[in-house]
């Protein structure tokens, strides 16, 4: 019996030490520590923090929602066309669960919001895709999705779940890697401004010096994407229901919704079209998204023709376009927002 108690005491001690280390080092930015380098940017936590900050100072009337492919759309481009203040709430690896969670959080906290611009990745309709731990561990977004914002018990439960999931060898290795790199932090691959816009400082520096290995980045990106497009043969019912809920809840509060599909690099687009299953999945998703249009309340924007983008070389990989192309995309979407607002109020506008 004495051995058992000693074992339990040591186990409790080691668990406590690990939880303290996880909190202080915080390699995945899920907890409070910020003194050690992040091995994984927690964009959901970061964007929610910045949105709350903007909300206090100058509440946005428009919000951009979507994955990393929406994250370099600049609110200033939208404001120049629409006159509305925008915030970019795009997050890495966004699923439709993310879109719904973020949309509900904005609707619950921003009474001034009038427009949602929602980028939908066609592959996100795969019913096998599960939301990332980053979303499941985010108190604000998870409680918004479940309709329990402000519930202390639910918030504590989500936090406890995050700590429980951190008790793994993989997480411990991340703690060690982050602590070891503290003396010489790696060059940042990503940076965000106060309105949530994504920048690529490392890639842009390498492109400027002509050392950026686009071919490698394209290959690393396209292989999993082509596999994912071919991994399912129907649109997940739960995914469609979540998108339908987002639209219904937004429009019920007078928020107009602009749905769009971010373009693929022409090389990836050709590969997807070449495979019959992948091509059918892509077309099926686009058809469904366009079927949701109810102008001027819900507008869909066809943005898959990359010939309209000004810079054929303005890509970081198979899916992510640079700021030169992002500006064109932003203005196309901003025009859709402006026209939807004008049509909803009966005011004619000229392009």
Give the tens place of pLDDT for each residue, 253-309.
999 999 999 999 999 999 998 888 888 989 999 999 999 999 999 999 976 667 788
Residue 171 has pLDDT above 60, yes or no: yes
| 126/124 Cα distance (integer angstroms) | 5
What is the structure's pLDDT at 71? 96
- The percent of residues above 70 in pLDDT, for the chain, comes to 93
Confidence of residue 7 (pLDDT cuts 50, 70, 90): low
Confidence of residue 11 (pLDDT cuts 50, 70, 90): low
| 102/157 Cα distance (integer angstroms) | 20
Residue 313 has pLDDT above 60, yes or no: yes
| 344/342 Cα distance (integer angstroms) | 5
Whether the Cβ atoms of residue 196 and residue 68 lie closer than 8 Å to each other: no
What is the structure's pLDDT at 147? 92
Confidence of residue 345 (pLDDT cuts 50, 70, 90): low
Whether the Cβ atoms of residue 155 and residue 139 lie closer than 8 Å to each other: yes
| 5/320 Cα distance (integer angstroms) | 55
Strand ranges (E), the chain: 62-65, 86-88, 115-119, 191-192, 198-199, 256-260, 298-301
Closest CA to 338 of 349, 346, 330, 327: 349
Pairing of strands 198-199, 191-192: antiparallel
Alpha helices, H only, 83-195: 96-109, 133-136, 139-146, 152-165, 169-180
| 261/206 Cα distance (integer angstroms) | 28
Closest CA to 119 of 91, 77, 142, 145: 91
The residue with greater pLDDT, 177 or 345, is 177
Q: For the chain, state the CA radius of gyration.
A: 22
Q: Within a 10 A sphere around the Cβ of 76, how many other Cβ atoms?
A: 13
Residue 346 has pLDDT above 60, yes or no: no
Element (H, E) at 272: helix 266-274
Question: Under 8 Å CB-to-CB from 336, ≥6 apart: which residues?
Answer: 258, 260, 299, 301
Residue 328 has pLDDT above 90, yes or no: yes
Confidence of residue 183 (pLDDT cuts 50, 70, 90): confident
What is the structure's pLDDT at 348? 36
Confidence of residue 349 (pLDDT cuts 50, 70, 90): very low
pLDDT digits (tens, 9 = 90+) for 232-264: 878 999 999 999 999 999 999 999 999 999 999
Residue 48 has pLDDT above 90, yes or no: yes
Q: What is the mean pLDDT of residues 56-85?
A: 96
Residue 4 has pLDDT above 70, yes or no: no
Mind listing the domains of the chain with CATH numbers? Answer: 41-126+186-345 (3.40.50.1110)
Whether the Cβ atoms of residue 192 and residue 53 lie closer than 8 Å to each other: no
Whether the Cβ atoms of residue 107 and residue 255 lie closer than 8 Å to each other: yes
Considering 20-34, 81-95, 215-229, the range whose residues carry the highest mean pLDDT is 81-95
Phi, psi of 106, rounded to the nearest 5 degrees: -65, -45
Phi, psi of 63, rounded to the nearest 5 degrees: -135, 135
Q: What is the mean pLDDT of residues 216-231?
A: 90
What is the structure's pLDDT at 184? 85
* Lowest model confidence (mean pLDDT) among 39-43, 68-72, 78-82: 39-43
CA distances from 310 to 60, 275, 286, 326 (A): 29, 28, 23, 10
pLDDT digits (tens, 9 = 90+) for 100-159: 999 999 999 999 999 999 999 998 999 888 899 999 999 999 999 999 998 999 999 999
**pTM listed for this prediction:** 0.92
pLDDT, averaged across the chain? 90
Whether the Cβ atoms of residue 141 and residue 102 lie closer than 8 Å to each other: yes
């Amino acid at each position: 019996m004495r051995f058992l108690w000693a074992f339990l005491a040591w186990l409790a001690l080691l668990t406590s030490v690990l939880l303290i280390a996880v909190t202080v080092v915080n390699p995945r930015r899920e907890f409070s520590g910020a003194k050690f380098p992040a091995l994984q940017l927690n964009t959901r936590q970061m964007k929610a923090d910045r949105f709350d900050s903007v909300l206090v100072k100058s509440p946005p009337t428009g919000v951009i929602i979507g994955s990393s492919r929406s994250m370099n759309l600049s609110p200033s481009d939208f404001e120049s066309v629409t006159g509305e203040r925008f915030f970019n709430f795009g997050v890495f690896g966004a699923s439709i669960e993310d879109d719904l969670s973020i949309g509900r959080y904005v609707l619950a906290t921003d009474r001034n919001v009038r427009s949602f611009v929602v980028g939908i990745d066609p592959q996100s309709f795969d019913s096998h895709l599960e939301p990332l731990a980053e979303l499941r561990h985010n108190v604000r977004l998870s409680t918004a999705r479940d309709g329990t914002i402000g519930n202390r018990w639910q918030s504590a439960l989500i936090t406890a779940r995050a700590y429980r999931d951190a008790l793994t060898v993989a997480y411990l290795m991340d703690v060690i890697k982050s602590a070891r790199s503290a003396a010489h932090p790696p060059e940042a691959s990503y940076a965000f401004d106060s309105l949530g816009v994504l920048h690529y400082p490392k890639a842009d520096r390498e492109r400027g010096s002509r050392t950026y290995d686009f071919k490698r980045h394209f290959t690393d990106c396209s292989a999993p994407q082509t596999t994912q497009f071919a991994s399912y043969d129907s649109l997940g019912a739960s995914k469609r229901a979540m998108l339908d809920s987002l639209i219904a809840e937004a429009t019920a509060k007078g928020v107009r919704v602009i749905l769009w599909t971010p373009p693929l690099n022409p090389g990836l687009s050709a590969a997807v079209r070449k495979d019959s299953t992948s091509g059918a999945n892509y077309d099926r998703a686009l058809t469904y998204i366009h079927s949701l249009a109810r102008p001027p309340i819900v507008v869909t924007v066809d943005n898959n023709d990359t010939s309209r983008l000004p810079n054929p070389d303005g890509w970081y990989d198979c899916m992510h376009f640079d700021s030169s192309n992002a500006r064109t995309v932003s203005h196309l979407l901003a025009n859709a927002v402006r026209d939807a607002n004008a049509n909803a109020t009966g005011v004619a506008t000229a392009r």
